[in-house]
Amino acid sequence: MTALWQDILYGCRMLFKNPGFTTVAVISIALGIGANTTIFSLINATLLSSLTFPEPDRLVVIWNVPVQNRTQRGGVSAATFLGWKERSRSFEHVGAVYNYVRSLGKGDDGSPPEQVQSQRFTPGMFHALGVRPLLGRLFTDEEDRIGDAAPVALISHGFWQRKFAGDPNIVGKTMRLDGVVYTVIGVMPPDFGLLNQEADLWEPCGISQTQLQSTASYLVAAGRLKPGVSIAQAQAEMDGIAAQLAEADPARNKNRGVRLEPLQEVYFGGLREPLFVLQGVVAFVLLIACANVAGLLLARASSRRIEVAVRSAIGADRWRIVRQLLTESVLIAMLGGLLGVAVGWVGLRLFIATAPPGLPGLDDFSIDVRVLAFTAAVSIVTGLVFGLLPALQSSKANLAGAIKESGRGAMGGLARHRLRSVLVTGQIALALVLLIGAGLMINTFVRLQRNDLGADPRGVLTFEVRFPEDEMMKVVGRYRGVGLWEISPVTALTFNRIFERMQGLPAVQSAAGSTFPPLSGAMAMNFIIAGRPAPAPGGTGATSQPQTNAAYLAVTPNFFATMKIPILRGRDFNDRDTQAAPPVVIINQTMARRFWPDEDPIGQRITLDFVPDEQPRQIIAVVGDTRFSPYEEDPPAVMYVPHMQQTPRWQGPSWNARARMTFMLRTAGDPMALIPAVRAAVAEIDPGKPVSEIRTVEQSLNQRLQGTRLYTGLLVVFGVIAGLLAAVGIYGVMAYSVGQRTHEIGVRMALGAMSRDVMGLVFRQAALMIVFGLVIGLAGSFALTRFLGDALWGVTPTDPPTFGAVSLGLILVAALACLIPTLRAMRVNPTIALRYE
């Protein structure tokens, strides 16, 4: 122990004696360890964490899946869920949930109505999760009877603080949801959430008789396994139950199976591949940093060879010398680790600030004890890794050889120089792999940004107005296994009044409305073309005609002008396209090419195949193509109908497409400045309807690209760090080489060598390292960039332009790193050089 303490003290003195070397080495290691600390913090908070529920390893999500594709996870119908619950014996509790949107009425303090996120739970879901409220109680089975759910709700801790100022007497108080008075029976803990961390409240599932008879799969089921029951055992039981239900109720369960998945996997499984890729990237950065410091240690060993030889001559064995040198290496690594924690903390803060909202585990990202232990372990291992080879190489010195080497100059350090060249070659190879990965992601992001969406998103404000389910429709029967509902005409009339009011707002150049936010999606709709054989519902008919379908949007007049979508032929909708007028439809160019490739679609008629008694619609125009996402390569087929001409009946599972309208306002100035006027105008028309989802179209598009932007940014940052470290390594080797060969260069110049000959001499040595590094790096890139395949868009993992551009860039960086040592070699004075050493 005394000897170790002496080694530490001596090592500290040596490091303080060489502050330049120590600073460069510590910063190099700190960058590598800091990057690893940041990414491991993300892994620790997601893949290595346990959910906050008791015994989370016993919690599973029960998916309804197609038998032919068990990876296609889906919800379950109410009847099938109840069948699972009654027949299964592997679970202590089974529950179900689905998301819902509510309108919260005006507050007692005069606060305006607002839209809140609700989840409907069966009581069994709370029991399966093993949670208790912070205040109050859970709702009971009696309060969740089929067809008769009680108006009670639990609220989230955040909602309690925000809306009720943390009132300790909140239990028993009421609030108005969609016009119905609900009683607050409890407050959930701050960290509670299930598959929707933004939920404001939980209410009884309230399965209706219509939902019980429906084939619609809208519930997500979860269960808690009994002690001692494995997922494999429960899966086998559920497979048997699925087969029984398929025979007993084929309408809902034919060709349907069950898949059990750990809740932890549902939460974080999608992060596994990108986080592991990033962890591999930062491991490469750390390896480059290690190679850099190892090269510095080898160069420093030249100045310590007499010291090592003397220690050996007076009795120190080789292991004692190696131990001393390794102690110094570990000290460098520990200092780098301490600084790396700070670098990691800054990196983590920046990540949290730029992460897309709703990222799983975002609130739990921190540098905790496990992360600190990881950093400490990495620091020690790093010190041993980059210190071992230099220590073994340096410990070979003997006094006579060291004295001869000091007199002779360059030749004695040849082995060390070769080892440094190998290390730099490895640095170049690793840096090239990282930079090519970053280049591919930059290429992806640029292509996404340039992807023509077919509309102009600039300067457009959007907001949503929504009707509650009970206010806008009532069940009138069943159609194709689901509820058939009649839509109140008040819904469309109210939306129309808001549309007309928006056109009169100051600074509004153009206004319109759509059933879905612009450039963000649509409802799929089957249709039948007049004069052609109709397929059987749900597939193909006896004529083997494929099902014809397209995206469906109901819009107001002026929609195409507001979004600047060109009308290629025909006319726009107008205020005469009402329920009483002949039904019309507008299609986009892709739909025209797909279904009428050799004829003019204008004047053709189609019938929507959605509810009974649909009237044929005449195509009155063809408009330009749009994409619903920056990630879409090919525009989809889209049909547009006047929102006032939508059918008065609708299938229940798709009621959201009729309950809401997104309005868009194109302005000359700042769109966000219109928000107060928008709220006031909507309140004039219907004070009970909250204005929600207020944002610009550009903000919406940017949010969808945020994940790719963050991933690209991380790879670029790590790639740049790797490139800089590799450049420092090249510079160090070349500077050391020139210094060691000063005498040789002087002799050559004394014998008549020109400056260009000296430049060629130096660059040939650098070229060998660069070429070998590029060859190895390119081979590694071809093997490893395939792991980025799922994140790439519009570019292949082996994209030749990216490989070529990045390789050329790294060559230029390496050449610049060689420039200063080369210029120094060219300025060598032969007279002085001949006396060197």
547-580 pLDDT tens trace = 799 999 999 999 999 999 999 999 999 999 999 9
Residues 217 and 333 grouped into a single domain? no
Contact between 643 and 575 (Cβ < 8 Å): no
pLDDT at 833 over 60: no
CA 229-230-233 angle, to 5 degrees, is: 90
- Could you tell me the sign of the dihedral formed by the alpha carbons of 21, 24, 26, 28, in that order? negative
The whole-number pLDDT of residue 223 equals 96
Residue 488, CA distances (Å) to 115, 208, 301, 449, 656 in order: 21, 20, 86, 41, 14
Other beta carbons within 10 angstroms of residue 318's beta carbon come to 13
Give the domain range for residue 156.
69-254
Residue 168, CA distances (Å) to 186, 192, 748 in order: 11, 19, 89
CB within 8 Å of 237: residues ≥ 6 apart: 88, 89, 90
Q: What is the pLDDT of residues 630-668, one digit of tens each?
A: 999 899 999 999 999 999 999 988 999 999 999 999 998
Residue 367, CA distances (Å) to 39, 335, 377, 411, 453 in order: 11, 18, 15, 48, 41
Residues 356 and 504 grouped into a single domain? no
The whole-number pLDDT of residue 734 equals 73
pLDDT at 836 over 60: no
The whole-number pLDDT of residue 543 equals 45
Mean pLDDT of 418-438: 88
Contact between 189 and 30 (Cβ < 8 Å): no
Report the range of poorest mean pLDDT among 236-250, 286-300, 504-518, 693-707. Answer: 286-300
Please indicate, yes or no, if residue 146 is contained in any of the structural domains: yes
Mean pLDDT of 444-465: 94
Mean pLDDT of 493-515: 94
Nearest Cα to Cα of residue 188 among 177, 197, 179: 197
pLDDT at 747 over 50: yes
Nearest Cα to Cα of residue 759 among 822, 824, 829: 822
Please indicate, yes or no, if residue 776 is contained in any of the structural domains: no
DSSP 3-state assignment of 251? helix
pLDDT band at 22 (very low <50, low <70, confident <90, very high): confident
Residues 111 and 42 grouped into a single domain? no
The whole-number pLDDT of residue 410 equals 42
Report the range of poorest mean pLDDT among 42-56, 77-91, 267-281, 380-394. Answer: 380-394
Please indicate, yes or no, if residue 734 is contained in any of the structural domains: no
Q: What is the pLDDT of residues 83-115, one digit of tens each?
A: 999 999 999 999 999 999 999 987 666 678 899
The whole-number pLDDT of residue 329 equals 83
285-299 burial, b if ≥16 CB within 10 A, otherwise e?
bbbbbbbbbbbbbbb
Residues 279 and 210 grouped into a single domain? no
Mean pLDDT of 390-414: 52
Mean pLDDT of 193-215: 91
Please indicate, yes or no, if residue 152 is contained in any of the structural domains: yes
Residues 579 and 478 grouped into a single domain? yes
Of the three residues 668, 687, 710, the one that is the final residue of a domain is 668
Query: Global pTM?
Result: 0.85
Cβ neighbourhood burial of 345 (10 Å; 0-12, 13-18, 19+): middle
DSSP 3-state assignment of 512? strand
Please indicate, yes or no, if residue 433 is contained in any of the structural domains: no
Of the three residues 668, 683, 717, the one that is the final residue of a domain is 668
Residues 502 and 589 grouped into a single domain? yes
The whole-number pLDDT of residue 768 equals 84
pLDDT at 129 over 70: yes
Residues 391 and 302 grouped into a single domain? yes
Please indicate, yes or no, if residue 616 is contained in any of the structural domains: yes
Of the three residues 194, 225, 254, the one that is the final residue of a domain is 254
Instruction: Copy the structure tokens of residue 205.
Output: 């599932």
Please indicate, yes or no, if residue 559 is contained in any of the structural domains: yes
Instruction: Copy the structure tokens of residue 651.
Output: 């299938």
Contact between 635 and 454 (Cβ < 8 Å): yes
Residues 363 and 218 grouped into a single domain? no
pLDDT band at 402 (very low <50, low <70, confident <90, very high): very low
The whole-chain average pLDDT of the chain stands at 86
pLDDT band at 195 (very low <50, low <70, confident <90, very high): confident
- If you count DSSP H runs as helices and E runs as strands, how many of each does the chain have, helices first? 27, 26
Mean pLDDT of 504-508: 91
pLDDT at 542 over 50: no
For the chain, what is the domain count?
Answer: 3
pLDDT band at 18 (very low <50, low <70, confident <90, very high): confident
pLDDT at 422 over 90: no
Please provide the DSSP assignment of 295-318 as one string.
HHHHHHHHHTHHHHHHHHHTT--H
Residues 488 and 614 grouped into a single domain? yes
Of 37-46, 323-332, 786-795, which has the strongest mean pLDDT? 37-46
Residues 607 and 514 grouped into a single domain? yes
Residues 177 and 242 grouped into a single domain? yes
Of 314-318, 643-647, 753-757, which has the strongest mean pLDDT? 643-647
Residues 503 and 585 grouped into a single domain? yes
Please indicate, yes or no, if residue 607 is contained in any of the structural domains: yes
pLDDT band at 411 (very low <50, low <70, confident <90, very high): very low
pLDDT band at 690 (very low <50, low <70, confident <90, very high): very high
The whole-number pLDDT of residue 4 equals 60
